[in-house]
Structure 1
Amino acid sequence: MAKGHVLVLPMPCQGHVIPLMELSHGLADDGFEVTFVNTEVDHALVVAALPAGGAAELRDRGIHLAFIPDGLTDDEDRKDLNKLIDAYSRHMPGHLERLIREMEAAGRPKARWLVGDVNMGWSFVVARKLGIRVASFWPASAACLAIMLKIPKLIEDGVLNEKGWPERQETLQLAPGMPPLHTSLLSWNNAGAPEGQHIIFDLVCRNNRLNDLAEMTVCNSFHEAEAGVFKLFPDILPIGPLFADREFRRPVGHFLPEDTRCLEWLDAQPDGSVVYVAFGSMAIFDPRQFQELAEGLELTGRPFLWVVRPDFTPGLSKPWLDGFRRRVAAGRGMIVSWCSQQRVLAHAAVACFVSHCGWNSTLEGVRNGVPFLCWPYFCDQFLDRSYVTAVWRTGLTVSPSEDGVVTREEVRSKVEQVVGDAEIRERARLLRDTARACISEGGSSNKNFKKFIDLLSE
Structure 2
Amino acid sequence: MKKIKERPHAVMFPYPLQGHVIPFVNLALKLASNGFTITFINTDSVHHQISRSRGLHLDHDVFLESRQHGLDIRYATLTDGFPLAFDRSLHHDQFFEGIMHVFPAHVDDLLARITTLDPTINTIIADTFYVWPSSLARKYNLLNVSFFTEPALVITSYYHVHLLKENRHFASSAGNRSDAIEYIPGVKSIATADLPSYLQEEGDLNTTVHRIIDRCFKDAKKADFMLCNTVEAFEQDTIAALRQIQPFYAIGPVFDKNRISTSLWAESDCAAWLDSKPRGSVLYISFGSYAHTSKHVIEEVANGLLLSGVHFIWVLRPDIVSSEHPEVLPVGFERRVEGSGLIVPWCDQIEVISHPSVGGFLTHCGWNSILESIKCGVPLICYPLLTDQFTNRKLVVDDLKIGINLCDKKSTPTRKGVAERVNYLMRSQEIRQQIKEVGKILVDAMGVDGSSVVNFNQFVEDLTTKIAAIKGSLVKDD
Matched, 1:427 2:434: yes
From 422, 425, 443, the equivalent of 1:418 is 425
Which whole-Å CA distance do the structure 2 matches of 1:17 and 1:340 have between them? Answer: 15
For 1:387, the equivalent position in structure 2 comes to 395
Structure 1 residue 391, shift from structure 2 partner: 0.9
Matched, 1:75 2:89: no
From 236, 240, 244, the equivalent of 1:227 is 236
For 2:384, the equivalent position in structure 1 comes to 376
Q: Rate the CA distance shift 1:51–1:164 in 2: closer, same or farther, 3 A.
A: farther
Which whole-Å CA distance do the structure 2 matches of 1:29 and 1:262 have between them? Answer: 32
For 2:49, the equivalent position in structure 1 comes to 45
3-state DSSP of counterpart to 2:362: strand
Structure 1 residue 110, shift from structure 2 partner: 3.7
Matched, 1:160 2:170: yes
Structure 1 residue 401, shift from structure 2 partner: 11
For 1:285, the equivalent position in structure 2 comes to 293
Matched, 1:266 2:271: no
8 Å CA contact retained: 1:8, 1:34: yes
Matched, 1:241 2:253: yes
Matched, 1:441 2:453: no
8 Å CA contact retained: 2:129, 2:213: yes
3-state DSSP of counterpart to 1:172: coil
From 98, 101, 120, the equivalent of 1:90 is 101
3-state DSSP of counterpart to 2:283: strand
The amino acid that maps onto 1:237 is Y
Which whole-Å CA distance do the structure 2 matches of 1:365 and 1:340 have between them? Answer: 13
1:156-200 Cα deviation digits (max 9, x unpaired) = 333338x67883223324367656232585432468x95465433
3-state DSSP of counterpart to 1:119: coil
From 124, 129, 147, the equivalent of 2:134 is 124
For 1:8, the equivalent position in structure 2 comes to 12
From 11, 33, 36, the equivalent of 2:37 is 33
TM-score normalised to the size of structure 2?
0.86
Which whole-Å CA distance do the structure 2 matches of 1:441 and 1:282 have between them? Answer: 35
For 2:161, the equivalent position in structure 1 comes to 151
Which whole-Å CA distance do the structure 2 matches of 1:268 and 1:64 have between them? Answer: 42
Q: Rate the CA distance shift 1:310–1:63 in 2: closer, same or farther, 3 A.
A: farther
8 Å CA contact retained: 2:302, 2:329: no
Q: Rate the CA distance shift 1:23–1:420 in 2: closer, same or farther, 3 A.
A: same
Which whole-Å CA distance do the structure 1 matches of 2:110 and 2:409 have between them? Answer: 51
> Percent of aligned pairs with the same residue?
28
Moved more, 58-67 or 279-288: 58-67
Supply the RMSD in Å over aligned alpha carbons: 2.8
For 1:409, the equivalent position in structure 2 comes to 416
Which whole-Å CA distance do the structure 1 matches of 2:16 and 2:239 have between them? Answer: 27
Structure 1 residue 104, shift from structure 2 partner: 4.5
8 Å CA contact retained: 2:382, 2:403: yes
Which whole-Å CA distance do the structure 2 matches of 1:94 and 1:114 have between them? Answer: 16
Matched pairs, number: 449
Moved more, 111-120 or 226-235: 226-235
Q: Rate the CA distance shift 1:113–1:322 in 2: closer, same or farther, 3 A.
A: farther
Structure with larger Rg: 2
1:201-246 Cα deviation digits (max 9, x unpaired) = 333232233223322111000011112211322342110111121x
Which whole-Å CA distance do the structure 1 matches of 2:73 and 2:346 have between them? Answer: 24
TM-score normalised to the size of structure 1?
0.89
Structure 1 residue 409, shift from structure 2 partner: 1.4
8 Å CA contact retained: 2:133, 2:144: no
For 1:135, the equivalent position in structure 2 comes to 145
Structure 1 residue 381, shift from structure 2 partner: 0.6
1:101-121 Cα deviation digits (max 9, x unpaired) = 33345x446421111111113
